[in-house]
Amino acid sequence: MTCQSPRIAIPEPNSTQADYNQRSWPQYAKAVEACGGTAVRVLLSESPASVARLVASCSGVLLPGSPADLNPQKYGQEAAPECAPADASREAVDELLLQDAFNLRKPLLCICYGTQSLNVWKGGSLVQHLNTAINHKAGREVTEAHGVAVAPNSQRLAHFPHSITVNSSHHQAIAVPGDGLRVIATAPDGTTEAVEQPGEQYVLGVQWHPERTFDVNAVSQAIFREFVTAAAEWKPREVRESVAG
C-alpha cells in the first residue's frame, strides 16, 4: 500500500476547441482528484519528447472524450458524411500515451472518444454513425439516456449491477473490437458500451461519460475510484528479472 497520490495523465480533449477543453477537462480532473489521484494535463501542442517525459512521471492514463472523430482511414474506411473532422494532434498524443500504458502495464481508463481511440489503436473498427431507435447522442444535460447490460463475466464491471442506466453523448461506437479487447456492456440496440482487456493490467473503456455524473452516481464513482486505486498500486516492471545465472 502507498500513501502517495498517483499521477494520472489526461490529454486535452481537442486541439481546436478551447471552450470545450475548458468545460470538459476539469470534470475528469475533479473525479480523479476526488478519488485521491493527481490529474496531470497533457497539452496537445507539446512535442512527442515532452509528452513522453510527462507520461513517464505518471502511473495511470485516462483518455477523455472529444468532439472530434477518429480518422476512419486508420481502420480502412473513407469518411461518412456524418463523420466529424479528425484531430491529428489528439490522435498523435493518444498513440504516445497508449504505447506507454501498454509497454509498462499502467492502468488505463478510456471514456467515449478515448474508448474509440483505444479500439482503433488495437486494430479494431468503428461504426461511423449510429442510426438506431436509441438516442446515443442525448447530450451532456441528460444524465440517464438509456440502459446498459453488463456482462456477468466482466473482470472490471462484474461487481456492478447487471443493468445500469447511463448518460450518452456519442454518434460513433465500436464495430469490431480491437486485438485483446472484449465487449463487457451493451445497449438494448446492441451497441457496444464498454470493453476491457482481461488480465493483470487495468484496462477499461466506457462509451458513456461517468465524469459528468460523478457527483450523483455510485457506478461513476466506482469506475474512477477503482481506476485510481489501480494506479496507486502500480509498480514499474523493469526490475523483475535482474538476476541472471
Phi then psi for 51, rounded to 5 degrees? -60, -45
Residue 140 identity (one-letter amino acid): R
Catalytic one of 91, 193, 211, 226: 211
Q: How far apart are CA 238 and CA 9, in angstroms?
A: 21
Catalytic one of 110, 112, 146, 196: 112
In the residue annotation, 129 being an active-site residue is answered as no
C-alpha cell at 142: 441528460
Catalytic one of 136, 146, 170, 209: 209
C-alpha cell at 64: 477523455
Half-sphere exposure of residue 66: CA atoms within 13 angstroms, side-chain side:
30
Q: How far apart are CA 108 and CA 207, in angstroms?
A: 14
Phi then psi for 195, rounded to 5 degrees? -135, 160
C-alpha cell at 15: 486541439
Instruction: Return the exposure string of 103-131: e unless at least 16 CB atoms fall within 10 Å of the residue's CB, then b.
Output: ebbbbbbbbbbbbbbbbbbbebbbbbebe
In the residue annotation, 159 being an active-site residue is answered as no
In the residue annotation, 110 being an active-site residue is answered as no
Residues annotated as catalytic are 112, 209, 211
